[in-house]
Amino acid sequence: MENLLELQNLEKMHEDGRLEVKSARGGIPESLWETYSAFANTDGGSIVLGARERTDHTIEIVGVHDAFKLKTDLWNLLNNRQKVSVNLLTDGLLRIEKIEGKDVIVMDVPRADRTSRPVYCGMDPRSGSYRRNGEGDCHCTLEEVSAMFRDAALVPQDAKVLQEMDLSVFCQETVRAYRQMFKDSHTGHVWNALDDEIFLRRIGAVGLSEGGTYHPTAAGLLIFGYEYEILREFPQYFLDYQENRQVASTRWTDRIVSSSGDWSGNVFDFVSKVIPKLTSGLKVPFVLKGSQRVDDTPVHKIIREALTNACVHADFYGRRGLVVTKGKDGFTFANPGRMRVAKEVAMEGGVSDPRNGIMLKIFSMVNLGERAGSGLCSICNVWEKVFHTAAEIMEAEDVDRVILKLCNGGNEQDVDAMLGLYETKDELNVVGDSGKYVSGYTVADADKLSIKSQIVDKLSINAGNVDKLCEILLYLRQNPHSSTASVAQTLGVSVSSAKIYLRRLVDAGLIVPHGANKNRTYSLV
């Protein structure tokens, strides 16, 4: 841990969430251990012995008597398990410094690893655990202590086999939807032929009891279970999607909650319902890979990533539930539970420590979620490049809660910047004015351009002469088995002209005729 203080400027500083000063004129103050615990259980901080806060909140250097003895006493107490549960300091983090000719002792307390939390004073974690709240130390609640003990476990929180439940807690429609998504992304995979029980065991949603019977894991229950069954294991479970209000009298224009009773209420179905709502309205440049339109932009991907990240890092035993909001200024993802690694480490990427590791595995198998530990880093990098506004990640002080804010700052998507972020950009053909790009197209617009490119490829004719042919293909997409007369009426042309257009599309292999003469109809191939 790097030294947190610019010691020569200490007098100009004031106490805050990462700095505490104590005069220590009468020796080591007992309150030091409360602060040590609070810093260790929160984000770390520095304790300075030999200084005190003035009434104007500036800091006065008073020094300590016999700094070497005091330092030795501190080492002895740090290694006394009756005084504090763990010693987090090394030589460089406990040191004597001289300021204005006076000796002070500096303790740079790091944020404790999750396996060491809670860090507590005395012998009882329930009464001796503290956390930093603003500028002060406050007792951890029993709920907060329990959450830290859960996070200290070496096995994922969601790996637990729930032996009091059987597989009837699963929503079969959800299982079918997941298996179809798996099949679409893993064509020919041997698991596609397995029955549901064996498949679910393979992905980690089901475990075996000692008696050889199948039971859901906590991950399986969360992803595939009915909401009322999930509440048996996770009494505080709640999922909430809120879309922005248009007028002051309206709280939201759209909302999805797990407790509504008109859908399963599980995590997978929540993600499936919310992703289209979150990505609706995002700009999609018209880009082709071969002859196929690519409508999944880097921004779409990080929005999905942010949503699944919130799910796999959520402490579903915690309070207040998981809340996702969409507004004119961007998106907010808030999940219960503290970050399991320091924010700085998470932002650097490369460290994967999900609270729900099995859930992450299940999501990643259908291309939802990042398993390499780069999820948050990628989300923030893409967002800043495309919207020129930094993403915010924070932990709420009053409750264990992680909040990711993706605010656009009033900026439109930078399409040029986004095009440079496509993973397969060397294989893409960016189409539009002057061969550059076309942004802000509706789905219908993009479909028309995609269809036009297909016609040009098939018929080898000028793109400017195929508008009528495009209209026919779009019409048949919505109205299969249409007659020549209905096509002619839609295009506003004669029946004989419609026959010519239809013949060209048949010859190109883009549509197929059904029946003969007056009863003939057409549909897409």
Residue 304 predicted with pLDDT over 90: yes
Tell me the three state secondary structure of residue 407. Answer: strand
User: Which range is least confidently modeled, 12-26, 96-110, 173-187, 439-453?
Assistant: 439-453
Pick the CATH number of 448-524 from 3.30.930.10, 1.10.10.10, 3.40.630.30, 3.30.70.20: 1.10.10.10
CATH classification (class only), 7-152: alpha beta
Specify which of 269-278, 413-422, 479-488, 489-498 reaches the highest per-range mean pLDDT: 269-278
Name the percent of the chain lying above pLDDT 70. 85
pLDDT at 282: 87
Q: What number is the average pLDDT over the span 59-84?
A: 94
Distance CA 310, CA 323 (A): 9
Q: What number is the average pLDDT over the span 332-352?
A: 82
Name the percent of the chain lying above pLDDT 90. 55
Distance CA 392, CA 386 (A): 15
CB-based contacts of 353: which residues, under 8 Å, 6+ apart? 114, 340, 341, 373
* pLDDT range class, residue 55, cuts 50, 70, 90: confident
Residue 57 predicted with pLDDT over 70: yes
Q: Which is more confident, 291 or 519?
A: 519
In this structure, the dihedral spanned by the alpha carbons of residues 330, 335, 340 and 344, taken in order and rounded to 10 degrees, is 20
Distance CA 511, CA 262 (A): 40
Pick the CATH number of 167-407 from 1.10.10.350, 3.40.50.1820, 3.40.50.300, 3.30.565.60: 3.30.565.60
Q: Are 485 and 495 in contact (CB under 8 A)?
A: yes
pLDDT at 464: 46
Per-residue tokens: 55 = 């009434």
- For all residues of the chain together, what is the average pLDDT? 85
Instruction: Using alpha carbons, list the distances in angstroms from residue 439 to 169, 239, 413, 470.
Output: 45, 33, 9, 20
Q: Do 167-407 and 448-524 have matching folds?
A: no
Q: Which is more confident, 444 or 104?
A: 104
Q: Are 267 and 171 in contact (CB under 8 A)?
A: no
Nearest to 476 by CA among 515, 508, 513: 513
Domain boundaries, the chain: 7-152, 167-407, 448-524
* pLDDT range class, residue 159, cuts 50, 70, 90: very high
The pLDDT tens digits of the residues spanning 191-243 come to 999 999 999 999 999 999 888 899 999 999 999 999 999 999 999 999 999 99
pLDDT at 456: 52
Per-residue tokens: 292 = 């196929």
* pLDDT range class, residue 291, cuts 50, 70, 90: low
The pLDDT tens digits of the residues spanning 386-434 come to 999 999 999 876 668 899 999 999 898 888 888 888 866 555 665 543 3
CB-based contacts of 162: which residues, under 8 Å, 6+ apart? 215, 216, 217, 218, 221, 233
Residue 476 predicted with pLDDT over 90: no
Tell me the three state secondary structure of residue 303. Answer: helix
pLDDT at 343: 77
The pLDDT tens digits of the residues spanning 78-121 come to 999 999 999 999 988 999 999 888 999 999 999 999 999 999 99
Angle at 85 between CA 82 and CA 87, to 5 degrees: 110
Q: Which residue intervals of 194-266 are DSSP H helices?
A: 196-203, 218-224, 227-233
Per-residue tokens: 465 = 């002469």
Residue 441 predicted with pLDDT over 70: no
CB-based contacts of 29: which residues, under 8 Å, 6+ apart? 22, 23
Residue 292 predicted with pLDDT over 50: yes
Phi, psi of 339 (to 5 degrees): -65, 135
Task: Name the DSSP class of 92.
Answer: G
pLDDT at 443: 45
Per-residue tokens: 75 = 């080492």
* pLDDT range class, residue 457, cuts 50, 70, 90: low
pLDDT at 129: 97
Tell me the three state secondary structure of residue 61. Answer: strand
pLDDT at 500: 86
pLDDT at 373: 53
